[in-house]
Amino acid sequence: MRLAGYEITTLRVGDFKLDGGAMFGVVPKPLWSKQCPADDRNRIDMTARVLLIRYGKHVILVDAGIGHKDDAKFHDIFEITFPLGSLIDELARHGVTPEQVTDVIYTHLHFDHAGGTTGLVDGVAIPLFPKAKHYVQSVQYHHGTTRNPRDRASYIDGNYEPVRAAGLLEFLDNDTELFPGLFLDTTSGHTPALQMVRITDHRRTVFFPADLIPLAAHVPSAYIMGYDLFPLTTLNDKERWLNRAAREEWIIVLEHDPSHEAITVKRDEKGRIVVDRIGTLEQLYQGDSA
């Protein structure tokens, strides 16, 4: 689809599983499992959905999935699969080579978002997009390097340090309009200074909230991940951004939902924000739904 001069495409670059209890925090399993059934290890289905954006001479990626560097134990824990192939395979299907990517936006540096930006050559991790600027908030990068006991397992040096060592990592501070009509809006409930992507022509808007709203099941206010470092910040930010999304009829692309690529939201008869329409990005942009 095209919006504000941008051609926006979603890519599904790997599936995995995470613990359902961790994904829904204080919400009881009988409630969340209605929408997200768990397997015998209490894991729910997840996907890594990224954005491919073309704008003039720019070929932009928003996040990159898990990638292929991790060992068999890691793959077993998260049951990582690639039913549609790797990120590189998906890019090739859209006529893009790694060398043609000019910009990579990290929403944040957790392994399921940043892992696909590096690959192994003779056992050494190297950048997969050697001509691209890779954008991250400086607060997020410094948080990842502190190895806080609460979330240290989510940060893996090989996913982004080779990018920094190659001089390809660009640090940002606070919200910014990276390109005309493409905004990076920060939120710090899940992790400090997570970048959400908002593309708008001030009539229509596509919003990629990353882990502020990873699944359609996370739209209700109380449905907040146990992974979130600051759940009350998540709660407040969800309400603020979803209120605006409902009022302005934004299309929300979900990074981790294997069943729902995109949604719109509305207020119900009780004044709560709820999912309205469900479909692909293209369907919702054209006014259709699944």
Q: What are the pLDDT digits (tens) for 212-222? A: 999 999 999 99
Q: What is the pLDDT of residues 231-252, one digit of tens each?
A: 999 999 999 999 999 999 999 9
Q: Say if pTM beats, i.e. exceeds, 0.75.
A: yes
288 pLDDT band, cuts 50/70/90, is: confident
Distance between CA atoms of 16 and 257, rounded to whole angstroms? 11
**40: Cα separation from own chain's centroid:** 26
* Nearest CA among 13, 89, 105, 12 for reference residue 53: 105
Which is the CATH superfamily of the domain at 2-285? Ribonuclease Z/Hydroxyacylglutathione hydrolase-like (3.60.15.10)
Percentage of the chain exceeding pLDDT 90: 98
For residue 39, is pLDDT > 80? yes
Whether residue 189 is predicted with pLDDT greater than 90 in this model: the reply is yes
What mean pLDDT value characterizes the chain? 97
Which secondary-structure segment (H or E) carries 139?
helix 138-146
Q: Mind listing the pLDDT tens digit for each residue in 131-187? A: 999 999 999 999 999 989 999 999 999 999 999 999 999 999 999 999 999 999 999
Q: Check residue 124 and give its pLDDT.
A: 95
Residue type, 223: Y
What does the pLDDT look like over 4-35, one tens digit per residue? 999 999 999 999 999 999 999 999 999 999 99
How far is Cα 72 from Cα 77, in angstroms, rounded to an integer?
9
Span 36-65, average pLDDT: 98
Mean of the pLDDT values across residues 276-280? 97
Q: Is 250 left (phi over 0), alpha (psi -120 to 50) or beta?
A: beta
Instruction: Give 88-128 pLDDT, tens digit per residue.
Output: 999 999 999 999 999 999 999 999 999 999 999 999 999 99
pLDDT of the residue at 1:
95
Q: What is the pLDDT of residue 213?
A: 98
pLDDT, position 290: 65
Confidence (pLDDT) at 64: 98
Contact criterion met (CB below 8 Å) for 152 and 110: no
